[in-house]
């Protein structure tokens, strides 16, 4: 059955009249891969269905939140009950404390947690409290890591040796960018050198401990330990941005796998079960600076709203209660990635496949990918051919080489087999394109 996107094409043209680029988040526009983004009508389990009636096995999962699969009955039922009690009060509720306790049970480094409405709000707020606590101004981030769209982190490495940041978007003031130093991921020497030069004025380092925004890139052996050691040595705070990796690469995120205790952690996505959410938290002596406990201001009309808290609480309870859930999801991810790698080799195509827990990614590159520069060596043209050939076979991957993919508890063995089979067709097409 050939996929048609007629209704989505009409919908996309209409959306562009009213919404910038026709989407409410850029990556959804398919600008990176070309073509028309399917407009989704509904989803259930591992599947999404678009308004043309095309069905897809979904490996985007709303960019991470849907680890249980779409429209999980327990989440839906709990939300329906919560809806009948109202949608938002702007006052404290029991469910906020319950969700926070569920997070702390899995992330013991988070002694106090503040709920917000997005990962962006979480990372924006965590920088403020890090600067207030240390009374320092500079922040270190890593090329290829993404922490949301606030000015302080929409920054890229400056030219030449200077690591001072320059804006990564129009509208970001030079002065704000200059307070953010950018260094390569997985490069201990650059980080050490940056601290040697600026260490006394660095408030914090913020890192995706398992990176998912340059494609999926894993920390090299011992790297995160060195980052922890360097930040401690200079009195800078270590912030793990686990908005994507939290409850994803393992139940307790990257900090559980690599046994690193960050000073502060940001979470999002999965903890809201598909509703708008973010959270930041960590050492009590730092988080007690946050208003109203302390002087560092941060607020939000819908922070901790009962619907997101309810969806998140049910999701986290299931992640804890379903026996061997992470073991099973990790095994599915591994089986899929090994199968795709083997399929590529059948066509003598060299790809890099990375996976950990319920997260995976692939690069059309014959070289190791360990940072943003090496990720950018990938052949995005080949990726785009692969992407569309998979889409037309009912496999919905992230529409960019520089994104990650996400497995859920709802993906079946049949889904995995169908995806590997579809990848053979896609690799054959890629191979034929490389010949011509
Ligand atoms: P949000 O503001 O999108 O909830 O979270 C920002 C954020 C912070 N930190 C990390 C590690 C993230 O991955 C994200 C957001 N991830 C992207 C995926 N590349 C969300 C998808 C999108 O931007 O549309």
- Residue whose Cα lies nearest atom 18 of ligand 1: it is 63
Region 210-222: mean pLDDT is 98
φ/ψ bin of 40: left (φ > 0), alpha (ψ from -120 to 50), beta (otherwise):
beta
Which of 155-159, 243-247, 251-255 has the lowest average pLDDT?
Answer: 155-159
pLDDT-derived band of residue 219, with 50, 70 and 90 as boundaries? very high
**292 CA to centre of own chain:** 30
Query: Which pLDDT score is estimated for 153?
Result: 93
370 vs 273: CA distance, rounded Å: 31
Query: Which pLDDT score is estimated for 163?
Result: 62
Residues near ligand 1 (Cβ within 6 A): 25, 27, 63, 118-120, 123, 146-148, 208, 212-213, 241, 243-244, 268, 278, 403
Ligand 1 atom index nearest CA of 266: 9
Query: Which pLDDT score is estimated for 249?
Result: 98
Task: Report the length, in residues, of the chain.
Answer: 436
Q: Render pLDDT for 33-47 as a digit per residue (tens, 0 to 9).
A: 999 999 999 999 999
Ligand 1 atom index nearest CA of 145: 11
The single-letter DSSP state of residue 20 is: G
52 vs 394: CA distance, rounded Å: 13
pLDDT-derived band of residue 159, with 50, 70 and 90 as boundaries? low
Distance 157 CA to ligand 1 centre (A): 20
Sheet of 55-58: strand order equals 40-44, 47-50, 55-58, 395-396
Residue 5 pLDDT exceeds 60:
yes
Q: In percent, how much of the chain has pLDDT > 90?
A: 94
For the chain, domains (ranges, CATH) are: 6-71+324-435 (3.90.1150.10), 73-321 (3.40.640.10)
Q: Render pLDDT for 198-207 as a digit per residue (tens, 0 to 9).
A: 999 999 999 9
User: What pTM value is reported for the model?
Assistant: 0.97
Catalytic residues: 146, 241, 269
Query: Which pLDDT score is estimated for 3?
Result: 85
Residue of 210, 268, 271, 405 with the most ligand 1 atoms within 8 Å of its CB, for mutation:
268
Q: Render pLDDT for 276-292 as a digit per residue (tens, 0 to 9).
A: 999 999 999 999 999 99
- Residue whose Cα lies nearest atom 5 of ligand 1: it is 119
Task: Report residue 39 as tokens.
Answer: 């407009």
Q: State whether residue 31 is helix, strand or coil.
A: coil
Query: Mean pLDDT for the chain?
Result: 96
Query: Which pLDDT score is estimated for 2?
Result: 75
Q: Count of CB atoms within 10 A of residue 42's CB?
A: 11
89 vs 302: CA distance, rounded Å: 9
Distance 197 CA to ligand 1 centre (A): 31
406 vs 248: CA distance, rounded Å: 8
Query: Which pLDDT score is estimated for 435?
Result: 75
**149 CA to centre of own chain:** 13
Residue 432 pLDDT exceeds 70:
yes
Distance 45 CA to ligand 1 centre (A): 22
């Amino acid at each position: 059955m050939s996929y048609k996107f007629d209704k989505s094409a009409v919908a996309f043209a209409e959306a562009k009249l009213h919404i910038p680029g026709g989407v409410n988040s850029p990556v959804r526009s398919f600008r990176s891969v070309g073509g028309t983004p399917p407009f989704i009508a509904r989803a259930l389990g591992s599947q999404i269905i678009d308004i043309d009636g095309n069905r897809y096995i979904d490996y985007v999962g709303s960019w991470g939140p849907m680890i249980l699969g779409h429209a999980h009955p327990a989440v839906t039922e709990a939300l329906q009950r919560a809806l009948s009690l109202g949608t938002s009060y702007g006052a404290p509720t029991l469910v906020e404390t319950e969700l926070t306790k569920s997070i702390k049970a899995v992330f013991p480094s988070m002694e106090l947690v503040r709920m917000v409405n997005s990962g962006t709000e979480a990372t924006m707020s965590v920088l403020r409290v890090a600067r207030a606590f240390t009374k320092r101004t500079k922040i270190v981030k890593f090329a290829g890591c993404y922490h949301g769209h606030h000015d302080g982190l929409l920054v890229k490495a400056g030219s030449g040796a200077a690591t001072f940041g320059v804006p990564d978007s129009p509208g970001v003031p030079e002065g704000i960018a200059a307070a953010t130093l950018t260094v390569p991921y997985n490069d201990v020497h650059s980080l050490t050198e940056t601290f040697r030069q600026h260490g006394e004025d660095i408030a914090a380092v913020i890192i995706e401990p398992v990176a998912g925004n340059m494609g999926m890139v894993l920390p090299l052996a011992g790297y995160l330990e060195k980052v922890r050691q360097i930040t401690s040595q200079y009195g800078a705070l270590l912030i793990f941005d686990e908005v994507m990796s939290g409850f994803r690469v393992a139940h307790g995120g990257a900090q559980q796998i690599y046994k690193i205790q960050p000073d502060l952690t940001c979470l999002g996505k999965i903890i809201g079960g598909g509703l708008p959410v973010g959270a930041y938290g960590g050492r009590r002596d730092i988080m007690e600076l946050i208003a109203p406990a302390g002087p560092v201001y941060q607020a939000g009309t819908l922070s901790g709203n009962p619907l997101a808290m309810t969806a998140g609480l049910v999701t986290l309870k299931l992640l804890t209660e379903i026996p061997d859930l992470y073991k099973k999801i990790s095994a599915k991810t591994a089986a899929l990635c090994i199968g795709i790698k083997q399929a590529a080799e059948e066509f003598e195509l060299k790809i890099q496949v990375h996976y950990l827990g319920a997260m995976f990614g692939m690069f059309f590159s014959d070289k190791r990918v360990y940072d943003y520069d090496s990720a950018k060596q990938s052949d995005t043209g080949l990726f785009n051919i692969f992407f569309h050939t998979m889409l037309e076979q009912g496999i919905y991957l992230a529409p960019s080489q520089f994104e990650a993919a996400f497995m859920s508890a709802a993906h079946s063995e049949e889904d995995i087999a169908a995806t590997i089979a579809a990848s053979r067709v896609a690799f054959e097409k890629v191979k034929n394109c490389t010949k011509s």
